[in-house]
A and B are shown apart, each in its own frame.
Chain A
């Protein structure tokens, strides 16, 4: 079992973090038993420390509350059986998009704020325009999307080769 470790953006203090339901203190996330979690944590740390203007315009680092919420989404959607960990792409306003891409199919979760997520996917059934839904707290649909998305596991692909 991995030991707990901290995720906190450099320089963030309780006075400049938007107050939601999180306590005004450094928050320790216990490491979930997910293969690839260290990489996710590392990526979130990186995005929290992006330089001002990282996008060539007036881009800001990932907002702490958005990173925390994105981490919770990933922890709740992924487990030991999830073969593909998502990538996390920063938006210019401190938002992020959690993305899975495999053989041209994609699932994208745009986390605009805690409890304000736009989810989109494409596949052969829904076509290139895909289907899009807005989410707040219930991510059951995304769990279903992921199960369908990851139906071809590396083990299955190896057997088919």
Chain B
């Protein structure tokens, strides 16, 4: 996959990568830390914060690009749970782009204590409630966190 655009400091710039197709899937890792509970029903659900970009200028919502993992001969559900076990969801790219978000490629080199992630991507856009809901609705568990609702 061709490299993403970067600024003079090497930081990946928001972009919509033309080699990430609408029929492709991205994976979003979900930590137990991102689970909230309804105080009336006890129902656990994924917080809306998990469907937003990191705070800060030009920050993205991190994802893994599934077809790159598969092309490397790896199993996606194993790759995204190593070295740290987290849950994960699988989202088709088309619904993400329908919300006017862009889906790009953002490979990460090793940076201790973090291993490299050559399959890392990013979603950039306006993560208002409608966008967050659309991404959530387009998601399905890849590695499920038991007892946690993905949908609202």
Contact = CB atoms under 8 A, between A and B. Distances in A.
Interface of A: 47, 50, 52-59, 84, 87, 89-95, 97, 99-104, 108, 110, 112-113, 120, 128-130, 132
Contacts of A57: 29, 62, 117, 120
Nearest to A116: B55
Given A58-B108, A59-B31, A92-B54, 4 more contacts: A53-B113, A54-B31, A55-B86, A101-B45
Nearest to B48: A108
Contacts of A100: 39
A104 B33 contact: no
B54 A52 contact: no
Interface stretch (B11-19, B69-77, B91-99, B128-136): B128-136
Nearest to B115: A53
B55 A89 contact: no
Nearest to B49: A97
- Counting chain B residues whose Cβ lies within 8 A of the other chain, the interface size class is 35 or more
A104 B41 CA distance: 9
B29 A53 contact: no
Interface of B: 29-31, 33-34, 36-41, 45, 47-49, 52, 54-56, 59, 62, 80, 84, 86, 88, 108, 111, 113-114, 117, 120, 128-130, 133, 152
Most chain B beta-carbon neighbours within 10 Å: one of A55, A58, A59, A102: A55
Contacts of B113: 52-53
A93 B84 contact: no
A53 B31 CA distance: 10
B33 A129 contact: no
Most chain B beta-carbon neighbours within 10 Å: one of A53, A57, A101: A57
Most chain B beta-carbon neighbours within 10 Å: one of A52, A58, A89, A93: A89
B56 A93 contact: yes
A102 B40 CA distance: 5
Contact of A89 (B33, B62, B129): B33
A55 B114 contact: no
Given A90-B33, A129-B129, A132-B129, A53 B47 contact: no
B43 to A, nearest CB: 9
A110 B15 CA distance: 25
B55 A93 contact: yes
B62 A58 contact: yes
A97 B47 contact: yes
A54 B128 CA distance: 24
B115 to A, nearest CB: 9
A151 to B, nearest CB: 13
B31 A58 contact: no
A72 to B, nearest CB: 18
A112 B36 contact: no
